[in-house]
Structure 1
């Protein structure tokens, strides 16, 4: 029965529709796996078994009456512990908020509930979502499930969500992305991770870090699943199928004929990239070309390192303005690495903050102009695979080298599975697109994933 835990949403929806399994039985499988493996993996901070089973039973009743809400009805998902759910604890990854009860429900959660999603629980996050390594010094760091013998980083900040999907503790999970917080853990855990354009998915009821950069995203097994959840986070339930969704957006087709994908020569990466990562990205480029895409090579109109640093400064500036009351109090129990990052924002005065916002706005225009005639940029998601936890240098920002510029330019992006290194640790490739062009990236990834099998592998847990 555990095989259901590693099925795609599309496969699970078919099993539910054919009555091979009930939503309640499916939910019990995931709850059982959480009970068995979460003590080691630490993916969830809170689990809602009674509520989840009740939601699953309601889904089964709808299906018996012929009133299924669509693809996601009865599908068990995890929710990053930044999203408010009225009456439940939302910590934001902070020990100071370990008993904080939400008084509202995030709009994105309401949307998912309207589609019949079964909410399994809240997944761990870096405190206040400020960190790419996935560490949480006070509430515990989730364990990357691809190494059974050594605690390796899960990536962050949406650490628990990525681990939950990779390890078969959820069929999908919600995350957020401000500087790479969906794409980094997606790459390190071998799942598909969609970072949406800011404003595309409502952030009402999602604890903020940087209102200029915060976006809601999703972790799934494949791009087609990500498209289903992405659509549900924006829209009310409908009877349309995924193929119709692609057709609406002019993206129907089994190949990439007519698509233009930009690639960068290795020397333009501006940072050292692990050989396995470079080879994985090259394989994805080759798959795209075999599928009919036209490849172009041109230099970026900016330095990724400068964009990364500017993005970090804007996160710190806005993070300080959100959390300064907590950070300024030395008696409060705050992750020391997060405290240090947020404190950097107090040195950015209103004038410099305004300049950062102006530069951010200008970069959005520069990116859209540079992407004219290009459907996606294909680059690494991370420079290297998952490090052992005891080797992490929190003062290094290299883990987000390939992700932060995406937030700085206002783009959308998708991390997809691109193989494994010699230690059997996952490699991720990143498709970066124009603002609001998520479906283009999803369709490109969908075609590539039909030609590869990396997204079908899962770790041996336990």
Structure 2
């Protein structure tokens, strides 16, 4: 017999560790509901994880293929869902993600699947399935999640357009013409979330790769504090910039995924060492913006270059924050997107340090060697086999193999240019921290990007963004949908940006804004 409404509510509250749980709405399609709504439906006996997973896989094979959003599907998904249903019957769910269909980006290792990196050449060079899970995938499995497979991206997660040489150009589900980009590099991850193929997906962000597709497809995208999420088992990019995090339809669902994947691990020497206090979802309150102080940096809102519609969407988002009780005021930040690089260089010069370089060839080479070493076998031979395909995108590496080989075994944690970069980051963030405290700010707010999705084949508008600013400083950022244009396309996202370590607070502020504005809209079809 299915549990009563009261019993199901009590079970859901215990499952999510919430002091108060609003009875979730019942979506017609559980895959377009929240994770809490999905779990409530399971507890009421309306469907099983196996049934919903089967529906998700069918949707992936049909619409996911049509949108070129899916890299590979996992044969293990239905088995994982069935096991979760067994745990539910025994009253032993592992937590809120148990039985929840999720995806990971194509550069993540996932046992039983090859890691294609969305590159036709890499897929040819390394066609065999890997035997290990990336650490984040492993943590999701330990939480009971159902891994549907992997999403398409730009080759090696390098560009921001969603163009894969393996699966083709990922399409934006809001654009019936098939012309507009979904953004990238985590393009497929954003698309499967927006279209209800999965509740959330793992993405990566070196210079906007989560936040760009979040805006262009109108979903929630997060770049956590640098180092909060260890990156072991993922094809590397630049170790001093690379940050991994969730994409989801709601802030609460993004918080649940972050809760599962965050926390230290010795395999990533740049990861934070402090334990992650789990239970961030319990901090989400609809009234979190009441009394919050939000700083607005004028330079980060290029009003003279933004379209009238983009400005309208942004100004309305700020008005929503004020309506929710926030104080939004001008903030004269000691470091901005225009000054951050010069300030890093000046700080290094004052220390008598080498020039800071987050794109150091030595750090990238060592990260690539360590990635293959984690798979077992001859890591150096694997690097040599794949270096030409990889270097075609990450051309910071030398063109001569002997020069690359000389860099492979230098630990990236000890790379002089990278260490100098980290020192400059710490000094510059300390200045920003002092300014936050002097003005009693909780966060900064600005447009995630100051323009909507252009055509995939067009150059982007010549408008500077804050994307790299966040990566250089290692700041956490939550990007939330702010509305659609008259053409039905997502027109902008609002970013909540804070000091390192303030991820939980930012999620709470973003959740309160989301509840006030409710701007997410499912795409047609």
After TM superposition, the score normalised by the length of structure 2 is 0.76
Q: Is the 8 A contact 1:95 1:334 kept in 2?
A: no
> What residue number does 2:506 align with?
441
- Give the whole-Å Cα distance in 2 for the aligned partners of 1:415 and 1:53: 32
For residues 314-353 of structure 1, what are the structure 2 equivalents within 5 Å? 314-315=358-359, 317=361, 318-319=363-364, 332-333=388-389, 338=393
For residues 103-252 of structure 1, what are the structure 2 equivalents within 5 Å? 103-137=131-165, 139-234=167-262, 245-246=282-283
SS state of the match for residue 371, structure 1?
helix
Q: Is the 8 A contact 2:156 2:390 kept in 1?
A: no
1:270-304 alpha-carbon deviations (Å, 9 max, x no partner)? 98233322222222211111111122212232341
- The answer as to 2:507 corresponding to 1:432 is no
Per the TM alignment, residue 253 of structure 1 is displaced from its structure 2 partner at its CA by 6.1
> What residue number does 2:519 align with?
454
Per the TM alignment, residue 206 of structure 1 is displaced from its structure 2 partner at its CA by 2.0
Per the TM alignment, residue 136 of structure 1 is displaced from its structure 2 partner at its CA by 2.9
Per the TM alignment, residue 187 of structure 1 is displaced from its structure 2 partner at its CA by 0.9
Q: Is the 8 A contact 1:320 1:343 kept in 2?
A: no
Q: Is the 8 A contact 1:376 1:441 kept in 2?
A: yes
> What residue number does 2:470 align with?
406
Q: Is the 8 A contact 2:358 2:417 kept in 1?
A: no
- Give the whole-Å Cα distance in 1 for the aligned partners of 2:360 and 2:446: 26
2:43 alignment partner, one of 14, 17, 25: 17
Q: Is the 8 A contact 2:295 2:328 kept in 1?
A: yes
Q: Is the 8 A contact 1:43 1:164 kept in 2?
A: yes
Q: Which runs of 5+ in 1 are unaligned?
A: none
Per the TM alignment, residue 315 of structure 1 is displaced from its structure 2 partner at its CA by 3.6
Q: Is the 8 A contact 2:194 2:217 kept in 1?
A: yes
- The answer as to 2:458 corresponding to 1:391 is yes
Q: Is the 8 A contact 2:321 2:513 kept in 1?
A: yes
- Give the whole-Å Cα distance in 2 for the aligned partners of 1:304 and 1:218: 24
Task: Check 1:366–1:94 CA distance in 2 against 1; reply closer, same or farther (3 A cut).
Answer: farther
Per the TM alignment, residue 10 of structure 1 is displaced from its structure 2 partner at its CA by 1.6
- The answer as to 2:446 corresponding to 1:420 is no
> What residue number does 1:74 align with?
99
Per the TM alignment, residue 114 of structure 1 is displaced from its structure 2 partner at its CA by 1.4
Per the TM alignment, residue 7 of structure 1 is displaced from its structure 2 partner at its CA by 1.1
- The answer as to 2:324 corresponding to 1:294 is no
Q: Which one has the largest radius of gyration?
A: 2
> What residue number does 1:62 align with?
87
- Give the whole-Å Cα distance in 2 for the aligned partners of 1:156 and 1:291: 32
- Give the whole-Å Cα distance in 2 for the aligned partners of 1:274 and 1:355: 39
Per the TM alignment, residue 102 of structure 1 is displaced from its structure 2 partner at its CA by 2.4
Q: Is the 8 A contact 1:261 1:294 kept in 2?
A: yes
Per the TM alignment, residue 241 of structure 1 is displaced from its structure 2 partner at its CA by 7.3
SS state of the match for residue 358, structure 2?
helix
Per the TM alignment, residue 151 of structure 1 is displaced from its structure 2 partner at its CA by 2.8
SS state of the match for residue 222, structure 2?
strand
> What residue number does 1:363 align with?
428
- Give the whole-Å Cα distance in 1 for the aligned partners of 2:301 and 2:37: 40
> What residue number does 2:33 align with?
7
- Give the whole-Å Cα distance in 2 for the aligned partners of 1:242 and 1:308: 33
Per the TM alignment, residue 207 of structure 1 is displaced from its structure 2 partner at its CA by 2.0
Q: Is the 8 A contact 1:411 1:432 kept in 2?
A: yes
SS state of the match for residue 254, structure 1?
coil
- Give the whole-Å Cα distance in 2 for the aligned partners of 1:41 and 1:411: 32
- Give the whole-Å Cα distance in 1 for the aligned partners of 2:422 and 2:95: 40
1:253-278 alpha-carbon deviations (Å, 9 max, x no partner)? 63422311112337863982333222
- Give the whole-Å Cα distance in 1 for the aligned partners of 2:244 and 2:223: 7
Greater RCO, 1 or 2 (C-alpha within 8 Å, sep 6+) = 1
Per the TM alignment, residue 146 of structure 1 is displaced from its structure 2 partner at its CA by 0.8
Bigger Cα displacement from structure 2, 135-144 vs 202-211? 135-144
SS state of the match for residue 33, structure 1?
helix
SS state of the match for residue 112, structure 1?
helix
Task: Check 1:327–1:84 CA distance in 2 against 1; reply closer, same or farther (3 A cut).
Answer: closer
Per the TM alignment, residue 21 of structure 1 is displaced from its structure 2 partner at its CA by 0.9
CA RMSD of aligned residues (A): 3.3
Task: Check 1:30–1:149 CA distance in 2 against 1; reply closer, same or farther (3 A cut).
Answer: same
After TM superposition, the score normalised by the length of structure 1 is 0.86
1:287-341 alpha-carbon deviations (Å, 9 max, x no partner)? 11111112221223234145379899624655466569999999945696x3567
Task: Check 1:265–1:364 CA distance in 2 against 1; reply closer, same or farther (3 A cut).
Answer: closer
Task: Check 1:273–1:328 CA distance in 2 against 1; reply closer, same or farther (3 A cut).
Answer: farther
- Give the whole-Å Cα distance in 2 for the aligned partners of 1:353 and 1:297: 33
> What residue number does 2:271 align with?
none
Bigger Cα displacement from structure 2, 63-72 vs 365-374? 365-374
